[in-house]
Amino acid sequence: MTTFRTTAQLCDHGLAPPEQRAALDAVAARYAVALPPALADLIDPNDPHDPIARQFVPDAAELDHRPEELSDPIGDDAHSPVEGIVHRYPDRVLLKLTPICAVYCRFCFRREMVGPQKGKAMSAEALMHALDYIRSHQQIWEVILTGGDPLVLSARRLRAVMKQLAAIDHVKVLRIHTRVPVAEPARLTAELVRAIKVKGKPTYVALHINHPRELTQAARAACARMADAGLVLLGQSVLLAGVNDTPEVLGDLMRALVECRIKPYYLHHGDLAPGTAHLRTDIATGQDLMRALRGRLSGLCQPTYVLDIPGGHGKSPIGPDYLARTGSNGAAHFVVEDFNGRRHRYPPVG
Ligand code: SF4
């Protein structure tokens, strides 16, 4: 089986309703489509609410654009000093090597920027300028390769970029954001793993995984190859309506990540990307889910629930809060909530 890239292929294989073909073609004309076999195989075509299909199969609801939605919801463009670099926080930059992904997520916050019709991988000249920018900014401590998905590039290209980054003295940490280990686990060959594991600089790999079913045996084996090689694995998930917005599914996901040596890092509130309202929850739902995780799961399984503030203002944790200050002046004290929801004064006396 090959990667499905058209609505015709999705309809022919029973993964999209043929009667909606015209609307789905309109969606695909605007937002890239790719569904690789590893993920297509996970979809139950008889389940109209399948959580894997919801993430990757185009939906006519994507034509419904809301006034609050933004083409660049997290403000990459406003913080891009040279092609391929986003410098939002002082000590780190994003380096976007390619607009191509192994799979196109229907809720992607960069959906207006990713896909084959949105450009090509960085040219050698653009990469040279981007590296010069990093070299000339001593405060850059961490470089984050993101995308598109950097792991769609060849091992040779990745090795060359990683070596050049590792050679910059003030860059101490490298990070790669990817969905390839679940979308195309076979790409994570020993050669590719060696290419991204550079000597002398720790490399973190942040894996984007939203549903426990994405962690197939092949995906788990790909993660094990990375962990065994000494790469540090982090989990990034997006809270999505109808995909992972129950305590059971979210809890199973976090446990599965930890079992695969992937430390849950962020749970992202859905960004205001165009045509994604049907996949967003509200923040109160997210906070309730976080409370449910706190009450039921090991501390290892707790991500930080974050909102990327529209306009490029960065991420902030959005609760829930367990600590409140009460009283005034000399009588002030805290009230802290435990995992059962019971409140306790702190300090207990005084
Ligand atoms: S893999 Fe990442 S960048 Fe690519 S479509 Fe999915 S969320 Fe967007």
Ligand 1 atom nearest to 101, measured from its CA: 4
Residue with tokens 């092609």: 83
The pLDDT score that the predictor gives to residue 203 is 97
Average pLDDT, the chain: 95
Ligand 1 atom nearest to 146, measured from its CA: 3
Q: Does the Cβ of 161 fall within 6 Å of ligand 1? A: no
Burial of 115 (0-12, 13-18, 19+ CB in 10 A): buried
pLDDT tens per residue across span 229-288 = 999 999 999 999 999 999 999 999 999 999 999 999 999 999 999 999 999 999 999 999
The pLDDT score that the predictor gives to residue 274 is 96
The pLDDT score that the predictor gives to residue 120 is 86
Could you report the average pLDDT of every consecutive run of 10 residues in the chain (350 residues)?
A: 95 95 96 98 96 98 93 84 94 96 96 90 95 98 95 97 97 98 98 95 98 98 98 98 98 98 98 96 97 95 96 91 86 90 89
Nearest to 178 by CA among 203, 157, 200, 207: 207
The pair phi, psi for residue 317, each rounded to 5°, is: -70, 140
- Total residues found in the chain within this entry: 350
Instruction: Return the best residue to mutate from 179, 184, 205, 207 for the ligand 1 pocket (most ligand atoms within 8 A of CB).
Output: 179
Q: Does the Cβ of 56 fall within 6 Å of ligand 1? A: no
Cβ atoms of residues 208 and 224 within 8 Å: no
**ω into residue 200 within 30 of 0, thus cis?**
no
How far is Cα 55 from Cα 104, in angstroms, rounded to an integer? 9
**ω into residue 347 within 30 of 0, thus cis?**
yes
Burial 133-170 (b: 16+ CB within 10 A, else e): bbbebeebebbbbbbbbbbbbebebbbebbebbbebee
The pLDDT score that the predictor gives to residue 349 is 82
The pLDDT score that the predictor gives to residue 34 is 98
Collapsed DSSP state (helix, strand, coil) of residue 172 = coil
Provide the angle, in degrees to the nearest 10, between the axes of the packed helices 155-166 and 124-135.
Answer: 20
Q: Does the Cβ of 145 fall within 6 Å of ligand 1? A: no
The pLDDT score that the predictor gives to residue 330 is 72
User: What is the rounded (10 degree) CA torsion for 123, 127, 133, 135?
Assistant: -160
Q: Which residues on neighbouring strands pair with residue 203, listed in sequence order?
A: 174
- 177 Cα: distance to centroid of ligand 1 (angstroms): 9
Q: Does the Cβ of 208 fall within 6 Å of ligand 1? A: yes
What residue's CA is closest to ligand 1, atom 3? 148
The pLDDT score that the predictor gives to residue 236 is 98
pLDDT tens per residue across span 288-330 = 999 999 989 999 999 999 999 998 888 999 989 999 998 877 7
Catalytic residue IDs: 88-89, 92, 101, 105, 108, 110, 271, 308, 315
Q: Does the Cβ of 110 fall within 6 Å of ligand 1? A: yes
Q: Does the Cβ of 105 fall within 6 Å of ligand 1? A: yes
- 114 Cα: distance to centroid of ligand 1 (angstroms): 8
